Amino acid sequence: MQRLSACSLDCHGACSLVVHLPDEEASVHDDPAGGVRVSGNPDHPFTRGVVCVKGRALAARRLSPDRITTPLVRGADGALHPATWDEALALCASKLDALRDTPESILHLRGFGYRGALAEASNYLFNSLGAARKRGSLCDGAGDAACEADFGAPDHNDSDDLANAAAIVNWGKDLARSSLHLGLMVRDARKRGVPVLTISPGGDDNDAFTDVRIRIRPGSDRFLAAAAIRRLLVDDAVPPAISGRTRGFGQFREMLLATSEADLLSACDAAPADLDTLCRWMRREAGNGGPTASLLGWGLQRYLRGGESVRYINALVMLSGNMGVSGGGAYYGISSGRSLDLSWSRKAGTPARTFLLSHMAQELTQADPQVRFLWVDAFNPVNQSPDAPALARAVEAIDFTVVVEAFLTDTASRADVVLPCALVLEREEIFGSAYHNYIAYAAPACPMPGEVRHDFDIARGVAERLARPIPFPDREDVLRQALRSPHLEVSLEELKATGWTKAKRPSVAWEGLRFAHPDELYRLPEALHLDGAAATVQDGASTGDYPLHLLTLLAPDYVNSQVGLPGRQPDDGAPITVQVAPECHALSALDLDRPVFVVSPHGRMPVQVQTRPGIHPRTVIMPRGGWLAHGRSPNAIIAPLATDMGDGAAYYEQRVRLEN
Ligand X SMILES: Nc1nc2c(c(=O)[nH]1)N[C@H]1C(S)=C(S)[C@@H](COP(=O)(O)OP(=O)(O)OC[C@H]3O[C@@H](n4cnc5c(=O)[nH]c(N)nc54)[C@H](O)[C@@H]3O)O[C@H]1N2
Compute the distance between CA of residue 654 and CA of residue 647 in angstroms, rounded to an integer: 17
Give least dist CB 324 to ligand SF4, A.
29
Of the pair 139, 169, the CB lying nearest Mo ion is at 139
333 binds, among Mo ion, ligand X, ligand SF4, none (CB under 5 to 8 A by kind): none
Q: Considering the rule CB under 6 A, would residue 219 count as an interface residue with ligand X? A: yes
φ, ψ for residue 428, nearest 5 deg? -80, 145
Compute the distance between CA of residue 646 and CA of residue 333 in angstroms, rounded to an integer: 14
Q: Write the single-letter amino acid at 198.
A: T
Stretch that binds ligand X, among 109-117, 363-371, 391-399, 525-533 (CB under 6 A): 109-117
15 binds, among ligand SF4, Mo ion, ligand X, none (CB under 5 to 8 A by kind): ligand SF4
Q: Considering the rule CB under 6 A, would residue 421 count as an interface residue with ligand X? A: yes
Give least dist CB 593 to Mo ion, A.
37
Stretch that binds ligand X, among 258-266, 366-374, 406-414, 508-516 (CB under 6 A): 406-414
Of the pair 180, 313, the CB lying nearest ligand SF4 is at 180
Element (H, E) at 178: none
Element (H, E) at 430: strand 429-431
Q: Considering the rule CB under 6 A, would residue 560 count as an interface residue with ligand X? A: yes
Of the pair 277, 409, the CB lying nearest ligand X is at 409
Give least dist CB 559 to ligand X, A.
5
Of the pair 355, 407, the CB lying nearest ligand X is at 407
DSSP class per residue in 54-68: HHHTHHHHTT-TT--
Which of 138, 225, 293, 395 touches ligand X (CB under 6 A)?
138
In the three-class reduction of DSSP (H, G, I as helix; E, B as strand; rest coil), residue 94 is classed as: helix
209 binds, among ligand SF4, Mo ion, ligand X, none (CB under 5 to 8 A by kind): none
Which of 294, 384, 485, 600 touches ligand X (CB under 6 A)?
384
Stretch that binds ligand X, among 80-88, 187-195, 474-482, 553-561 (CB under 6 A): 553-561
* Sign of the CA dihedral running 545, 548, 551, 555: negative
φ, ψ for residue 417, nearest 5 deg? -135, 130
Q: Considering the rule CB under 6 A, would residue 209 count as an interface residue with ligand X? A: no
Of the pair 242, 424, the CB lying nearest ligand SF4 is at 424
Q: Considering the rule CB under 6 A, would residue 459 count as an interface residue with ligand X? A: no
Do 513 and 323 touch, CB atoms closer than 8 A? Answer: yes
Q: What angle do CA 128, 409, 115 make, to 5 degrees?
A: 45
Q: Considering the rule CB under 6 A, would residue 174 count as an interface residue with ligand X? A: yes
Of the pair 64, 70, the CB lying nearest ligand SF4 is at 64
- How far, in Å, are 31, 536, 563 from residue 380 at the CA level? 29, 30, 13
How many residues appear in the chain? 660
Give least dist CB 498 to ligand SF4, A.
17
Instruction: Please classify residue 288 by burial: count the beta carbons closer than 10 Å to its beta carbon, then call 0-12 exposed, 13-18 middle and 19+ buried.
Output: exposed
Count of Cβ atoms closer than 10 Å to residue 591 Cβ: 8
Give least dist CB 61 to ligand SF4, A.
11
What contacts 334, CB < 8 A, 6 or more positions away? 154, 155, 156, 433, 434, 435, 437
Which of 55, 141, 172, 461 touches ligand X (CB under 6 A)?
172
φ, ψ for residue 624, nearest 5 deg? -95, 160
**Distance of alpha carbon 536 from its chain centroid, rounded?**
26
Give least dist CB 29 to ligand X, A.
25
Compute the distance between CA of residue 480 and CA of residue 502 in angstroms, rounded to an integer: 16
Which of 5, 16, 114, 413 touches ligand X (CB under 6 A)?
114
Query: Which residues bind to ligand SF4, rule: CB under 6 A?
Result: 7, 9, 11, 13-15, 51-52, 54-55, 180, 559
Query: Which residues bind to Mo ion, rule: CB under 5 A?
Result: 139
Which of 50, 423, 482, 513 touches ligand X (CB under 6 A)?
423
Do 499 and 4 touch, CB atoms closer than 8 A? Answer: yes
Stretch that binds ligand X, among 165-173, 232-240, 435-443, 496-504 (CB under 6 A): 165-173
Stretch that binds ligand X, among 28-36, 229-237, 400-408, 439-447 (CB under 6 A): 400-408
φ, ψ for residue 136, nearest 5 deg? 90, -170
Q: What angle do CA 265, 271, 276 make, to 5 degrees?
A: 95
Count of Cβ atoms closer than 10 Å to residue 21 Cβ: 15
User: Where do the DSSP E strands lie in 27-183?
Assistant: 37-40, 72-74, 80-82, 106-110, 132-135, 167-171
Query: What are the residue ranges of helices labelled H in 235-359?
Result: 240-243, 249-257, 261-268, 272-282, 306-319, 343-346
Of the pair 325, 563, the CB lying nearest ligand X is at 563
Give least dist CB 8 to ligand X, A.
7
Count of Cβ atoms closer than 10 Å to residue 43 Cβ: 14
Give least dist CB 204 to ligand X, A.
3
Q: Considering the rule CB under 6 A, would residue 139 count as an interface residue with ligand X? A: yes
Do 603 and 634 touch, CB atoms closer than 8 A? Answer: no
Give least dist CB 302 to ligand X, A.
5
Which of 159, 277, 409, 569 touches ligand X (CB under 6 A)?
409
Give least dist CB 16 to ligand SF4, A.
9
- Interface with ligand X (CB under 6 A): 10-11, 111-114, 138-139, 171-174, 177-178, 199-201, 203-204, 218-219, 221, 297-300, 302, 377-381, 384, 404-407, 409, 421, 423, 455, 551-554, 556, 558-562, 624, 634-635, 638, 651-652
